[in-house]
Structure 1
């Protein structure tokens, strides 16, 4: 085994794991920065899941199925937001040493993203009757509520991407927690006041508006106030990067989101509600190691010319993700009923096999997502297209084979495991 392929000290780890951990982990800035985001992710995740659990208990399985389908639609809309954030992070990392150019890029990109998000809003409003019929959701106003999350929600991703690109991880984490906190507080109040599902999504809009305003002020105060006329950025580069960035957003959002929409369309309301509960808990295994991927992206972008350094970053990111998500998957397999009844109550105990298989599927998905982020940060887009193709195949198969929710999960597991193997091959090709 060469030195390049043994960056984490695999042979040494086999004989002296404590020494390897001391040498490679305690002083690892990827882990340090990833830990900041991980702590924020745990905190915001706790608030987000409190939001989900409250809605599950307050609305009941049938209305929670409606909520879950609409929330999945919200996530799909945010495919564009993830693409915008990837682009903002990629080019912010490149411009980090040129303050005036970075300030110019941020202001122009924010303005263009706001215009784009307004276009998404108009499109969703126009399509609301069709979406309402497909999801069997009434009234149509509920779909319009999803459209309302687009303008500030998508523009907010520019600010988050900027904070990530310049590696201001502490404020980034703080704002993520604030976003989740405002959403939870507003959601609880509005639902208790009797606004139901509509109140829950109004809370998303309010949270986005508040955090968008605060992050915009934060970024502009930290960047130069005056921008010389010589400070410019070739936005055609960002536009060319947009397609793979949006596809990456599609890849990390849709395969584990569209299944909820399909479950709502194909299964009875109660069964769809059980699937939503398993899905919500399963996604914890993505969110927990998310800090590692968040810290990985700008570090790879700034060192993409040094293959040895970037491969070492990938090796560590894969290891950390496998440990974190793997522990969660084992927990879901061993004590699924305890997890379900603790978070959702006895009414969701029948979702045990769904949670078990969801956990394993998401473990593979989390590992594949690390490789996906790594390749996009290096502007190597072939794996992005492969990931997209397999994701589309997964969706098509779920549309054909839907005799039971377990079929969905077996399809996702097969696709995600394939992506892990292909991703590793691609990195070393």
Structure 2
């Protein structure tokens, strides 16, 4: 069977003018191979101060993941989805944003949230089960951690478009706000992801999508959820530029993301960046990763640990020695001690706060539920008094 193209189809008279001109997809296609810096000639051209800052933050990020995992094992966190092995993506995402920009994280992106200035205990409040969010999104310009897959991508597009509309009508509003949405490879199979890309492309919204492709959607390998050549290719169908980068190469991720953010900021359109990385730990502390991946596979990726790769490059260039490593390690231990101290303090929780930020004006159902809760609390307090 021959599939006819438009020019030979019977009755073809050309597209109506409302269809607009056809776009050349070539400029949208992602890089043929992931962009790399470490171990290449490009490494010598990267600002040395940037390399040192990236190393410092990666070490602290690794220690953050280790300490949070320990807190989960101790029962002081209900659950913790570690980003161990993905720290380069998280650190770079926080670093390339201006203070006026917005970050839209998923549940695995607590390190990116902390790197943007939120206290660890506040960033981990959701994982503690104490509240939906432990920080003020407006203050930090960070949306609450998103547990449903890819819903934050739609929110990022909406905010970025709204910020641009507001800037057009309000001379005091920031004119160049960029939204950066962090998404996992599993999230790219969700309808919300494609809706977000479609609207971003149509609206030319100043938004960047960073897909951290760690190989698995919980236990489902990428090959069983997508047949696309790369996840970055999914950008092309929505008229968006796709970029492909080695997610374990910290300066490469930083460079590609910085260029993508400035591209969006300048009004040239949204960008989808796929960072090829790997989740070295299990999906969460409740997951047994040995059931779906081999120790040989993990070991191969451990050899490409982003922290190891960067430290090797810095030592080779004479920018890091044992004393420098020890100094950064001490700073990481100070962070871990601070986290333990924060979690030693028992929070003063108000269950009624669950109803505070659902709607600007509480609905009748919310008021009814809040009244039920207050009645239950009063009855529980009365029982406690009687028991005394």
Tell me which interval the TM-score lies in, with the shorter structure as reference length. under 0.3
Q: Which has the larger radius of gyration?
A: 2
As a proportion of its length, which structure holds more helix? 1
TM superposition score normalised by structure 1? 0.24
Larger strand share, 1 or 2: 2
Task: Provide the TM-score with structure 2 as the length reference.
Answer: 0.26
